[in-house]
């Protein structure tokens, strides 16, 4: 089976990358910017919140080892999908919760998983994560890539909630 991609946004991309890279079946990760109008944005562009981009994570995964559904379950376990335009100390549209679907199948799986998350009662309010068609993904600057490996103990607002498994 050929590797597939997922593009997700859920707050600061450093923390997301640090957790997703550890999943069995994840081949590679890259932080960057998605969902905006400006071509080739930089961090200085998107930090203003005016470009429409979100800090995002591109995940390349082996679907024979981990499904897109399982990736999304993990996504909803490691960030708070009920806060609009905010994760931890990070506030603004660039920190929104988004699933950038690469095709109709990914959008369907995303809708199904959001329904499961909402029905589970794991969060005190409804999921605000948007599902949008993926446009271009722009890799972030090199100093952002693998940031928490380069700077152990650096800021992250992401953690894995224990005993948090949804039905498949």
Mean pLDDT of 60-65: 98
48-53-58 Cα angle (round to 5): 130
pLDDT on residue 161 = 85
Q: Could you give the dihedral angle defined by the CA atoms of residues 39, 42, 45 and 47, in that order, rounded to the nearest 10 degrees?
A: 130
Residues belonging to the active site: 12
Helices (H) and strands (E) in the chain, counts: 5, 8
pLDDT on residue 51 = 96
* 82, 126 contact by CB (below 8 A): yes
Mean pLDDT over the full length of the chain: 94
* 107, 70 contact by CB (below 8 A): no
pLDDT on residue 167 = 53
pTM across the whole model = 0.95
Mean pLDDT of 15-23: 96
């Amino acid at each position: 089976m050929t590797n597939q991609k997922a593009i997700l946004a859920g707050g600061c991309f450093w923390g997301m990358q640090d957790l997703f890279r550890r999943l069995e079946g994840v081949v590679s990760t890259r932080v960057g910017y998605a969902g905006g109008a400006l071509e080739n944005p930089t961090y200085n562009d998107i930090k203003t919140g005016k470009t429409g981009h979100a800090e995002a994570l591109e995940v390349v995964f082996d679907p024979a080892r981990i499904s897109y559904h399982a990736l999304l379950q993990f996504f909803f376990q490691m960030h708070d999908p009920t806060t609009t335009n905010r994760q931890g100390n990070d506030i603004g549209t660039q920190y929104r919760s988004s699933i950038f679907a690469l095709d109709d199948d990914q959008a369907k799986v995303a809708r199904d998983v959001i329904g499961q998350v909402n029905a589970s009662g794991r969060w005190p309010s409804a999921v605000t994560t948007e599902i949008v068609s993926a446009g271009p993904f722009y890799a972030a600057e090199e100093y952002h890539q693998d940031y928490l490996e380069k700077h152990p103990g650096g800021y992250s607002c992401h953690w894995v909630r224990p005993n948090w498994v949804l039905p498949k």
